[in-house]
Amino acid sequence: MTATLERPAPPTPAEQPRRRRRLPGPFDSVTLVIAAVLIGIVVLPLGRVLVRMFWVDGALTIDPIRRTLELPGLGGMLRDTLILVVASSVLAFVIGTTLAWLNERTNARMGLLTDALPLLPFLLPPVAGAVGWTMLLSPRAGLANSWLRDLLGLVGIDLREGPFDINSWYGLILVMAFYAVPFVFMNASAGLRNLDPALEEASRLAGASTWRTLRKVTLPATAPSLGAGFLLAIWFGIGMFSIPAIIGGPAGIDVVAVRIVELLTFTFPPQTDVAIGLSGFVVVFVGLAYWLQMRILRRGRYATLGGKGARARTLDLGRAKWPARVLVLGYVFVSTVLPVVALVLVSLNGFWTPDIRWDNLSFTAVTTAVFDDRTTLTALGNSLGLGLVGGLIGILGAAMISLYVARRRTALARGIDIAVKMPAAVSNMVIAVGILLLLAGAPLYLSGSLLILLIGYLALYLPQASIAADAAVSGVGKELPEASAVSGARPARTFGRVYLPLMVPGLVAGWALLFIRIVGDLTASAILAGTANPVVGFRILEVFTSGSFALLASLSTVLVVITATVLVVVLAYTRRMSKLGVSASVGGVK
């Protein structure tokens, strides 16, 4: 007797769509809700800005645009903004690309040192750096200027002020460039590492010089990465408020970001419609930069494929090796160490003067200025709390979204990933204005509250959290999660017992980056904070306006100490975990 095994009938066409439309499980549902909330706090404010440009009090109007175009000095402000952003981005592009090439292609590389040092300005809050540079190169009271005048006096050159003035075009462009260099450096380094070294080797074998190979092969082949770095530098410059306000304001350099904050914060009643109109110019600037990048990329032909075993040949600089290393170290010393030294000296001295009495330096001035001042202490506590909570919410939410995107290769997952990273292509200033319009008034009335600040920080720094979470998720192999699923564990249990423990080092690094950015933020703080709930950025702006430079230096120094402590602890933790086979990075520093 023979038994016949019949194959199960294939699903009918009506059944197939039913399977595809299977509802997501509880864990995926929670992830989708979190993604919707995080995306909403970015998309809704942007939509609010665009709508308010043409729809006011229930009627279609172009009043905000008309009032913006009638703003006195609009042409000069747009010109100054364009000059500042383009000049600082070009300078950052040259410096960042040069540092990346020296580090990735020459024997001037010094291992982790040259990997990490060019990124240090990125981890020093811009507001603290701007204050430090002011105290270094102010024409009369600048510490570095005073030291230089003393040296010049030894050779018979007598100067009463200068020789440098930070409150000038070259001073503002230089400091802006210092803070934009890390964006270019990270992207250029990634492009050089991913470039097929056979292309450069073929150029050399054909008799091309190093300079010709760099110009004809390396730079064109890495154009996508270089273009991304340049676009990020422009995005950073167009939305930066603290550096132009502190350095450019005394020089009479008027830029869009500073004027928007003045219209919303220092004008009564706030001229919201004009601020919205100026935000439209910011959107146009960023859009033009993005269009230019896409146009350049479409014209090029790029070949960057290489096997895992392909390694670029290290160029021997010969006698130029140590001068190149000195150049890198000198750049870090000038861009980061000098302003920190100025902040520390002024804060320990108790007042800003070029005549430092070294025997009078003490922590008493810092304690009195920061910890004995109720408003400043409240601002510091609020910023630390928002950094802790905002960093934790941001990195955990981004981790769940990144895991969903990695597991679900669908159009919805790709759309979510793009939407989460969208704020990186939009100016922080525009997002902050949108959040103010959306949440400050009826029906929520969150103006000046800690909640609106938390929402603003999450919206601004969501892309950084997403990128850090993507790196953490990519470091987890497929075997353990698959074994957990086969054993019957639900996705939530697999996330808590498998993914999360393996992702912790990367998530800790991402949290540290978010914490540093939130605590040192001035863009959102200047627009969203209030006197009832001050934060460090808002307090620094108040102190700068009142001219209390000792308090300004002390608060900036405490901010630098806090961020540096967090960075050192996290780097030590990630280095310890890397010895166990788990890698992580903070702002690109492994």
Mean pLDDT, to the nearest integer, of 3-16? 51
- State the alpha helices, DSSP H only, in 475-548: 479-486, 491-494, 500-519, 523-528, 536-546
Phi and psi at 55, nearest 5°, equal -135, 110
The tokens for 226 are 């270089």
List, as one string, the DSSP characters of 18-83: HHHTPPP-HHHHHHHHHHHHHHHHHHHHHHHHHHHTTEETTEE--HHHHHHHTSTTHHHHHHHHHH
In this structure, are residues 183 and 463 in contact, taking their beta carbons and an 8 Å threshold?
no
pLDDT of 116-149, one tens digit each? 676 677 667 788 888 889 989 998 888 999 889 9
CA–CA separation, 60 and 451 (whole Å): 31
pLDDT for 363 equals 83
Please identify which residue in the block is written with the tokens 């530098």.
233
Read off the DSSP letter of residue 306: -
Q: Reduced to 3 states, what is the DSSP secondary structure of residue 59?
A: strand
User: pLDDT per residue over 245-265, tens digit each?
Assistant: 889 988 889 999 888 888 877
Cβ atoms of 439 and 455 closer than 8 Å = yes
Average pLDDT over residues 156-176: 90
End-to-end CA distance of the chain: 69
Residue 204: predicted pLDDT: 75
Tell whether the model's pLDDT for residue 299 goes beyond 70: no
Across the range 309-335, mean pLDDT stands at 81
- Give dist(CA 453, CA 581) in Å, integer: 38
Higher pLDDT, 100 or 584: 100
Report whether 515 contacts 566 (CB < 8 A): yes
Give the pLDDT band of residue 19 (cuts 50, 70, 90).
very low
Chain length of the chain: 590
Minimum mean pLDDT among 232-236, 284-288, 445-449: which range?
284-288
| pLDDT bracket for residue 315 (50, 70, 90) | confident
Which residue from 28, 35, 31, 127 is spatially nearest to 417, judged by alpha carbons? 35
Q: How far apart are CA 528 and CA 261, in angstroms?
A: 10
Confidence of residue 356 (pLDDT cuts 50, 70, 90): confident
Q: Show me where the domains of the chain are located.
A: 25-66+360-590
Is residue 382 pLDDT above 90, yes or no?
yes
Are the C-beta atoms of residues 161 and 169 closer than 8 Å to each other?
Answer: no
pLDDT of res. 309: 46
pTM over 0.85: no
**Contact criterion met (CB below 8 Å) for 172 and 247:** yes
What share of the chain in percent tops pLDDT 70?
86
- State the number of CA atoms in the 13 A half-sphere of 35 facing the CB: 25
Confidence at residue 106, expressed as pLDDT on a 0 to 100 scale: 83
- Weakest mean pLDDT among 198-212, 453-467, 522-536: 198-212
Between CA 106 and CA 93 the distance in angstroms is 19
| Strands (E) located in 54-93 | 55-56, 59-60
What percent of the chain clears pLDDT 90, i.e. is strictly above it? 12
7 pLDDT above the threshold of 80: no
Q: Which CATH class is domain 25-66+360-590?
A: mainly alpha
pLDDT at 274: 85
pLDDT at 10: 56
- What pLDDT, on the 0 to 100 scale, is given for residue 581? 52
CA separation for the pair 549, 369 (Å, rounded): 10
- Residue 304 dihedral angles phi and psi, to the nearest 5°: -130, 25
Nearest to 570 by CA among 588, 551, 584: 584
User: Strand pairing of 55-56 and 59-60?
Assistant: antiparallel
Give the C-alpha separation, 243 to 537, whole Å: 12
Confidence of residue 1 (pLDDT cuts 50, 70, 90): very low
DSSP code for 424: G
